Amino acid sequence: MIKFEYVITDAVGIHARPAGALAKKVKEYQSKVVIGKGDKSAEAQKLMAVMALGVKCGETITVTVEGEDEADAAPAIQAFFKENL
């Protein structure tokens, strides 16, 4: 299991488009990816659940990657966040 934190810099937070792109990215890997904000969490694949977290600019999220290919998946997903959010 690999866990990292990320601070959202996108002005409007995690909205539909990046959430969709994230879901697509995550599907490339077998690992299960969970995004947590405070005491709420959501599977990254589930678009609606991710959007329901209502993550805004400046908020910190925790990203948990767990599975066989986590070593590959975690850096790729981290890079995705830096690029898009």
Partner 1 sequence: MDYRKCASEILTEIGGKENLVSAAHCATRLRLVIADNAKASKERLEEIDGVRGVFEAAGQLQIIIGTGTVNKVYDEFIDLAGVAAASKDDVKQAAAAKQPMWKRAIKTVGDVFVPILPAIVASGLLMGIVEALGKIESLHFEGTAWYQFLDMMSATAFAFLPVIVAISAAKVFGANIYLGAVLGLMMVHPSLLNGWNVGSEDAIMSMFGTTSIPTWNLFGNIKVGGYVLGSISRHGYQGHVIPIVIAVWVLAKIEKWLHKKVPEMLDLFVVPITSIFLTSLVTFMAIGPVFSLLENYVLDGAKFLITNPFGAIVIGALYPVTVVMGLHHMYNGIESGMLAQAGGFNTWMPVATAANFAQAGSSLAVGIKSKNAKTKSVAIPAALSASLGITEPAIFGINLRYMKPFVCAMIGAAVGGGFAAFAGLKATAYGVTGFPGFLIITNIPLYALLLLISGGVAFILTLILWTEEKKDEPKKEPVKKEETKKVEEVVKAETDADTVYAPCNGEVIPLDQVPDETFASGALGNGCGIVPAEGVVKAPFNGTVTMVFDTGHAIGLMSDDGIELLIHVGINTVELGGNHYEKLVADGDKVAVGTPLLKFDMEAIKAAGYDITTPVIVTNTDDFKAVGAPEVGKKAAGSALYKVTR
Binding of partner 1 by 24 (CB under 8 A): yes
Residue 15 annotated among the catalytic residues of the structure: yes
Rounded CA separation 77/70 (Å) = 10
Q: Which is nearer to partner 1, 57 or 71 (CB)?
A: 57
CB of 71 to partner 1, least distance (A): 26
Angle between helices 16-26 and 70-84 (to 10 degrees): 160
Catalytic residue among 2, 4, 10, 15: 15
**Tokens 């659940």 sit at which residue?**
49
Binding of partner 1 by 23 (CB under 8 A): yes
Q: Which is nearer to partner 1, 1 or 58 (CB)?
A: 58
Angle of CA points 81, 85, 47, to nearest 5°:
80
Under rule CB under 8 A, which residues in 38-77 are in contact with partner 1? Answer: 46-48, 51-52, 54
Q: Which residues are part of the catalytic machinery?
A: 15
